[in-house]
Structure 1
Amino acid sequence: MKLYNIKDHSEVVSFAQAVRQGLGRNQGLFFPEEIVPFDDVDALLDLPFVERSGKILRHLIGDEIPNLEELVANAFAFGAPLAKVDDRTYALELFHGPTLAFKDFGARFMAQCLSALASRGDGGKITILTATSGDTGAAVAHAFYNLPNVDVVILYPEGKISNLQEKLFCTLGGNIRTVAVKAAFDDCQALVKAAFDDPEVRDGIGLNSANSINISRLLAQVCYYFEAVAQLPAEKRNSVVFSVPSGNFGDLTAGLIAMALGLKVRKFITATNVNDTVPRFLATGEWDPHPTQATLSNAMDVSRPNNWPRVTELFSVKGWDLGNLGYGRLTDAETEEAMRELQAKGYTSEPHGTIAWKVLDSSLQDGDTGVFLCTASPAKFKENVDRILGIDLPLPEALSSRADMKVLSVPMAADFAELKKFLLNRK
């Protein structure tokens, strides 16, 4: 597989190089040189999830990793069930992995890839540096925990993720270090980018990133879009509308790649909270990020989404009309009301999935089949879900076992000099 740097097309790398580097020159994102559609998607949909996912990733990546199918089986050790909400709407539940969030798919596949590359001599010690607005941190931490020759540093906005989200990844210790940054998520992302631009840091500690900017994470997420359609009745597969709760826009990018591979999708909808840079851009044509606001759907509290350049690149390469991309946004008050509406239909969801459902519900046309992505377990947001819905959600063991553990995070200002010192002084 060959990929080019969106900001500098002269930089072309292999899949292995892209996984190792994370970012290209000038903080450019890597993008596949070609995405060849499958000849027979229907036959692909007849396969079991893990076998199908191995074929999808082999088709995309090629022969660089001989035991790729084994890595996929190790990474995707859990399912992505489709739950029927009503006659035309389904919830794709992506929270059945070890950290109860969709990012388990991408993080675990990336960890498997890096481990495989290291075992064949494709690089020594590495440091994963990533920023999280909630779920990435836990998925990355658990995927890389105790992995040989890998240190992990995770930045997150102090006080702006749920208590249970924090406990899930800030209590591990070992090769996992967590930093509570006294700023917003966008500031955390800026610190990560600054580290990649500093040769002393980048080269000195073998810097890599596990955000959705890393191509291995992104490609892994392509697979569950096929799984969603495969679980639909055959007669409902020809007019599918996906609604994707969007923060950094990696999940939407993965869905669009699935469509480029030949998956039949009538429309994609991006659903955001009040951090609505992309919906406003789609409505007005003006890119005008506002200061990030804290919301109930904290994983979507992103005003400068990293993956948006990949979305526009794909639309350009494929000759698609960006005007066909649906969009919508909800305030916190609207999100709470939508959670109650969805609960009345018999389905309990947390804020992120709820926003995707509500925007989808107001967009479906006659004959459409709607699928909204549920990116996290409601239990990860138990305090708000209980308050809004008047219920008492039980905690899964993955959360209850860590609820009373001590948070090991280091507090830090949004200051790169301070972060650089912290990274280089690893004992």
Structure 2
Amino acid sequence: MKFYSINRKAPSATLREAVMNGLAPDGGLYMPERIPVIPKAFFNNISGMSIRDIAFVVADLMLGSDIDSSDIREIVNDTFSFDIPLVRIDKDIYSLELFHGPTLAFKDVGARFLARVISRLSSRSESRMVKVLLATSGDSGGAVAAGFKDVPGVELFILYPSERLSRMQLDRLNVPGSQVHAIEVLGTFDDCQRLVKEAFADVELRQEFDITSANSINICRLLPQMFYFFHAYASLVGSEGGFPDDVVVSVPSGNLGNLTAGLLAWRMGLPVTRFVVANNANDVTVNYLLSGKFIPRRAVRTVACAMDVGNPSNLSRILDLFGSDYGPLSRFVKGYSYTDEDILGSMSRTYSADSYLLDPHGAAALAALRDDLRPGEKGIFLATAHPSKFPRAVSDATGVEFKVKDIQDSAHRSTHPRISASYEALKKILMNENAQTVV
């Protein structure tokens, strides 16, 4: 499989080049040159397949020309050491619980898969130390830290926005005795993401190290997220006792990695009628879907922090999938945005009516699904994080208490290096100059 830059100004890349470089030389995100279509016979028996079996079929179609099938099977089996249940909420609505992995968040899937792919690709060459960069708005940091902690020859640098993560999310960034380094950035998630991209463009840094990303910027962090869309459909077929005609999938969205993966799965043959995007107050994607105009802006802080993104990178991939044609995209993908009050209200109503606890991100996705679903359709929404990761929001909305401290209080400061949102500050750390506070 070859990969092209969506900027169309760089040569095609091999899988190793796409994964280990993260971004193309022209600054574009990579996409597969060919999206294989899964044979229809696959869907005839899908309800009886495990998620490992489904993931193997999809991964082998996408990556089998570059990675041995036996290795793909091992990577998939190692990735899915946990279940992803589909839970019925009411007659026509299901929750896909993506929070049963080691760090209680959907990003365990992509992080574990990517770490194992990088391990194999780097071990088969005489490459230098690999520096993996990650910008996180919340849960991806802990998931990637856990996924990479035992990978030899790799250093992981996690950039997170100052005072935006919960205490639990911060604690998961600390991996004793490993090559995992967390860095507090005095800025927003978008600042963190910009710093990662600037590191990729630094010729001097690339002469010293192999540099890649563990964000959904990296195509191999994104591709495994397709697996659970197929698994959701398989579970729905099993639950419904047949093949539903109209399936709608609602995705809580920040940087749009999950939505991009879902659209790739659809292009591979996943029977989906349409997708629904849920935004919080950072509604640049929803505004684009409504108006056709993309106007990025500085992110604001909300109760659904992983969606606090004002300039989502993966929108460019989505536009590429639709040939930058706004009409078909806006008809197939619908968008809704919600205030903090709306999101807490969704959490409260769902708990009162269905005795089901949601985190703020899943609650936004459910609200969007309820607002969009039509009679006769079946809806699936992505519950991307365990509600215990957001105990204050859960308590405020439902009265349910978790014995977990949610917000980092002023007496507890992280011991991570703190840097300004300038690339010079980050580069000092990447060049092993041991900067602890660079402002």
Q: Of 237, 253, 267, which residue of structure 1 is paired with 2:244?
A: 237
Q: Is 2:335 aligned against 1:332?
A: no
Look up the match of 2:16: 16
Matches within 5 A, 1:281-292: 281-292=288-299
Residue in 2 aligned with 1:216?
A: 220
Supply the AA of the counterpart residue of 2:249. Answer: F
Specify the code of the residue in structure 2 equivalent to 1:50.
R
Greater RCO (CA < 8 Å, at least 6 residues apart): 1
Q: Which residue of 1 aligns with 2:384?
A: 375
CA distance in 2, matches of 1:330, 1:215: 29
- 1:205 Cα deviation after fit: 2.4
Cα distance between partner residues in 1 of 2:401 and 2:307: 25
1:357 aligned residue: 366
Alpha-carbon deviations, 1:248-285, whole Å to 9, x = none? 00100000011111110011011110101111111111
Distance 1:261 1:289 in 2: 30
Q: Deviations over 1:326-362 (max 9, x none)?
A: 1000000111111101111221001000000001001
Which of residues 206, 213, 221 is equivalent to 1:202?
206
More moved, 32-41 vs 164-173? 164-173
1:155 maps to a residue whose letter is L
Unaligned runs of at least 5 residues, structure 1: none
Segment drifting more, 218-227 vs 376-385 = 376-385
Q: Tell me how many residue pairs correspond in the alignment.
A: 421
Q: In the TM superposition, what are the counterparts of 1:242-257 in structure 2 within 5 Å?
A: 242-257=249-264
Which is worse superposed, 326-335 or 407-416? 407-416
Q: Name 2:109's counterpart in structure 1.
A: 105
For the structure 1 residues 207 and 418, does the alpha-carbon distance in structure 2 shift closer, same or farther, using more than 3 Å as the test? same
User: Is the 1:4–1:32 contact (alpha carbons within 8 Å) kept by the matching residues of 2?
Assistant: yes
- Given the superposition, is the C-alpha separation of residues 44 and 215 from structure 1 closer, same or farther in structure 2, using an over 3 Å criterion? farther
Residue 302 of structure 2 is matched in structure 1 by 295
Alignment of 1:418 onto 2:422: no
Whole-angstrom distance in 1 between the partners of 2:414 and 2:176: 9
The 1-side partners of 2:341 and 2:35 are apart by: 41
**Bigger CA drift: 83-92 or 64-73?**
64-73
Q: Deviations over 1:203-222 (max 9, x none)?
A: 32221100001111111000
Deviation for aligned residue 1:26: 2.8
Q: What's the offset of the Cα at 1:319?
A: 10
**Equivalent pair of 2:344/2:396 in contact (CA under 8 Å):** no
2:62 match: 60
1:10 to partner: Cα distance: 4.2
Matches within 5 A, 1:7-406: 7-8=7-8, 10-40=10-40, 41-43=42-44, 45=46, 46-66=48-68, 67-121=71-125, 123-170=127-174, 172=176, 174-232=178-236, 233-235=240-242, 237-316=244-323, 321-324=328-331, 325-344=333-352, 345-393=354-402
Distance 2:264 2:398 in 1: 36
Residues 37 and 269 of structure 2 are in contact (CA less than 8 Å); yes or no, is this contact kept in structure 1? yes
Matching residue of 2:3: 3
Which secondary structure does the structure 1 equivalent of 2:137 belong to? coil
What's the offset of the Cα at 1:408? 3.5
- Give the Cα separation in 1 of the matches to 2:325 and 2:72: 27
Root-mean-square deviation (CA, aligned residues, Å) is 2.1
Q: Distance in 2 between matches of 1:10 and 1:425?
A: 30
Larger CA deviation: 114-123 vs 279-288: 114-123
The residue aligned with 2:437 is none
Q: Partner of 1:25: helix, strand, or coil?
A: coil
Q: CA deviation at 1:89?
A: 0.4
Q: In the alignment, is the contact (CA less than 8 A) between 1:170 and 1:409 conserved in 2?
A: no
Q: Is the 8 A contact 2:184 2:417 kept in 1?
A: yes
Check whether the contact 2:156–2:180 (CA below 8 A) recurs between aligned residues.
yes
Give the conservation status (yes or no) of the 8 Å contact 2:92–2:379: yes
Tell me if structure 2 keeps the 8 A contact 1:205–1:424.
no
TM-score by length of 1: 0.94
Q: In the aligned structure 2, how far is the partner of 1:205 from the partner of 1:15?
A: 19
1:97 alignment partner AA: G
Structure 1 158/171 Cα, relative in aligned 2: closer, same or farther at 3 Å? Answer: farther
Structure 1 contact 180–412 (Cα < 8 Å) conserved: yes
How many percent of aligned residue pairs carry the same amino acid? 38
Alpha-carbon offset, residue 97 of structure 1:
0.6
**Aligned to 1:238, what secondary structure does the other structure show?**
coil
